[in-house]
Amino acid sequence: MKQLVALLLFISITSSAWSQQKSYYPSPVGFINDFEGDLTKEENAALDKAVKDLLIQAMDRQVYKGMEIAIVTVTDSMYGDEKDIKDYAVKMANKWGVGDKSDNTGILIAVSRKLHKVYLATGTGMEKLLPNDSCQKIIDERMLPELRRGRYYDALLAALGGIKESLGIK
């Protein structure tokens, strides 16, 4: 009987711990989703405007129909049981429905100050103009220098500039 109680207690404790580690995908609040609280109100508004301007320019140039961009700062509690920020960002973009579903033209920029992670996820419809090596170059050359200085707004703005350049938008 003691063994049965011990086994039930062990199962209860481990299942409770596992459930606390589950990844969490909060609902988006707009183009800018600062769940870590890294941005000021003014920075949030400026990034929102920059995203909208980029999307308007892309639409005017007919770069991609239905292209959409979301920016998210990821807390450690959101990240949960994911092994890689890439997996988390791709799942989040899919859950949020970033971009046109039929053309898969979404871009999600995920940054976590606390976890020291960053990823630029693109839908398969964006791969011609924004392939993985271009995304990594944007991260390495534009974002990381700013992130290392603790300038999250500047890093995100630089990412948008890199995306714009990759899409051939001036």
Residue 30 has what pLDDT? Answer: 95
Q: Which residues in 78-102 are b (16+ Cβ under 10 Å) and which e? A: bbeebeebeebbbebbbebebbbee
Residue 51 has what pLDDT? Answer: 97
pLDDT range class, residue 2, cuts 50, 70, 90: low
Residue 77 has what pLDDT? Answer: 83
Residue 54 has what pLDDT? Answer: 94
Non-local (6+) Cβ contacts of 134 within 8 A are 162, 166
**pLDDT for residue 8 is more than 80:** no
Average pLDDT over every residue of 97-104: 86
Picking from 61, 63, 109, 52, the residue whose alpha carbon sits closest to that of residue 86 is 109
Q: Are 152 and 39 in contact (CB under 8 A)?
A: yes
The per-residue pLDDT for range 54-69, each reduced to its tens digit, is 999 988 877 667 889 9
Average pLDDT over every residue of 139-166: 96
pLDDT range class, residue 169, cuts 50, 70, 90: confident
Q: Which domains does the chain have, with CATH numbers?
A: 30-166 (3.10.310.50)
Residue 83 has what pLDDT? Answer: 75
